[in-house]
């Protein structure tokens, strides 16, 4: 499944974090109270029970969520995660962050997120399919190409998207490929989608290196989380000259100051399930990957891994957040004090939703692009977004996180002003 995640150790409630960020941005940009109040609340929260027949004949009832935060700029967009630690507050926060993310890269979406409280690692494929189809059936009235378009997230993948598309289509009575993104190519998926988050992250890292007067040639990188986003980021970074010196997953971490062979490490993980045991590296404690001395640190797992307890020990020059919400507000203050340049999640990992947008457009038109066209368009969007945020940061004396939030919130607020409040 498409997961690169480790356990979430953050003490702070993710919804409180998102609301705190919104309140601070609202103060900086002088946001009207009415718009602030509206953006602080999701448009719609759906909670469903998902009775699922398990392989042994018993029925397990799972809890599923779908939160639609904003439709000011277009239909909602956001992933669905399967994880035992999914909470409603987490899903609400992720939906809010998706609203700002889509606005930062200036694509016509609002934010949504979904989740099912389950342990997919302990479930068979049949159990996952039956659960997914029932979950989708419960959401048929609130998702759709013009309403809300789900995508893969933690422990979901293109197969899960195919089940969702098929279930939705069977309920509608006709094929609706644009109801999801991140689906298989044979069902209308987009070339380049599976690598989009990591590729977009690398495009943003390249721009950060340019403005900092650094080169990727010989630069060092550590990657925390070695699922889809982490592996793609590491592999593409290596291709442009980086030495990837440390990598971790949910079990442990490996380190080689001379650089890991990323392709060999990916093959090792595919064969064994973990990065530990890789012959060409020494094993280090899992969390030590965050504090390895390097030029670029890429947190690519679950949120809340960079906290006030470990932020002072981080020795990277640049942090590129391939994960959602990996840095707590208290930790961000410490990173700022130490002069670490943070590329925030709503910018650094927006490549996934950007190519999801491209896929949605292709599915609606039944006209499909080459991978070269997809990657070229992705680079254009990510480079423009980086410079929109960087210019705001430089002009207002902000860090990149605050600047990105201000860019995103300002664009959503402007759409709200123009539309007004109905009725």
Q: Do the beta carbons of residue 49 and residue 423 sit within 8 Å? A: no
Q: Do the beta carbons of residue 259 and residue 278 sit within 8 Å? A: no
Q: Do the beta carbons of residue 161 and residue 152 sit within 8 Å? A: yes
State both tokens at 162.
């195919």
Question: Annotated catalytic residue: which of 43, 77, 101, 113?
Answer: 113
DSSP β-bridge partners for residue 221: 244, 296
Buried b (16+ CB within 10 A) or exposed e, 147-180: ebbbbbbbbbbbbbbbbbbbbbeeeeeeebbbbb
Taking each helix axis from N to C end, the angle separating 400-419 and 14-29, rounded to the nearest 10 degrees, works out to 80
What gap in Å lies between CA 322 and CA 44, rounded to an integer? 27
Is 113 designated active site?
yes
**Residue among 121, 96, 99 at smallest CA distance from 108:** 99
Q: Do the beta carbons of residue 5 and residue 225 sit within 8 Å? A: yes
What gap in Å lies between CA 240 and CA 183, rounded to an integer? 28
What gap in Å lies between CA 317 and CA 78, rounded to an integer? 30
Buried b (16+ CB within 10 A) or exposed e, 379-413: bebbeebbebbbebbeeeebbbbbbbbbbbbbbbb
User: Any idea which residues carry the catalytic annotation?
Assistant: 113
């Amino acid at each position: 499944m498409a997961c690169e995640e480790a356990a979430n150790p953050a003490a702070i409630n993710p919804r409180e974090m998102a609301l705190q960020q919104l309140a601070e941005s609202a103060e900086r940009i002088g946001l009207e109270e009415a718009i602030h109040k509206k953006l602080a609340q999701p448009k719609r929260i759906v909670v469903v029970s998902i009775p699922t027949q398990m392989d042994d004949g018993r029925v397990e009832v799972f809890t599923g969520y779908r939160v639609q935060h904003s439709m000011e700029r277009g239909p909602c967009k956001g992933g669905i995660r399967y994880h035992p630690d999914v909470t409603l507050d987490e899903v609400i926060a992720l939906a809010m962050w998706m609203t700002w993310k889509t606005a930062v890269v200036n694509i016509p979406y609002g934010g949504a997120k979904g989740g099912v409280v389950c342990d997919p690692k302990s479930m068979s494929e049949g159990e996952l399919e039956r659960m997914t189809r029932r979950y989708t059936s419960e959401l048929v009235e609130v998702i759709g190409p013009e309403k809300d378009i789900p995508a893969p997230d933690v422990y979901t993948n293109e197969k899960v998207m195919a089940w969702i598309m098929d279930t939705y289509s069977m309920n509608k009575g006709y094929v609706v490929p644009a109801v999801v993104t991140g689906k298989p190519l044979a069902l209308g998926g987009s070339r380049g989608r599976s690598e989009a988050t990591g590729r977009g992250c690398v495009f943003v890292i390249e721009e950060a290196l340019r403005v900092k007067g650094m080169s990727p040639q010989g630069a060092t990188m550590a990657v925390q989380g070695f699922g889809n986003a982490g592996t793609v980021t590491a592999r593409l970074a290596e291709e442009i000259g980086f030495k990837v010196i440390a990598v971790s997953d949910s079990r442990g971490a490996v380190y080689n100051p001379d650089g890991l062979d990323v392709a060999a490490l990916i093959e090792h993980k595919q064969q064994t399930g973990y990065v530990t045991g890789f012959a060409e590296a020494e094993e280090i404690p899992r969390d030590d990957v965050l504090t390895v001395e390097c030029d670029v640190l890429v947190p690519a797992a679950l949120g809340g891994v960079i906290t006030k307890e470990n932020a002072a020990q981080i020795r990277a020059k640049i942090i590129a957040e391939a994960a959602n919400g990996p840095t707590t507000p208290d930790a961000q203050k410490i990173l700022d004090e130490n002069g670490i340049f943070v590329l925030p999640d709503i910018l650094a990992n927006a490549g996934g939703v950007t190519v999801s947008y491209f896929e949605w457009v292709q599915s609606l038109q039944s006209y499909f692009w080459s991978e070269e066209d997809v990657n070229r368009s992705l680079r254009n969007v990510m480079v423009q977004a980086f410079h929109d945020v960087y210019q705001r940061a430089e002009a207002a004396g902000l860090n990149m996180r605050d600047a990105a939030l201000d860019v995103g919130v300002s664009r959503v607020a402007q759409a709200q002003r123009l539309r007004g409040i109905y009725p």
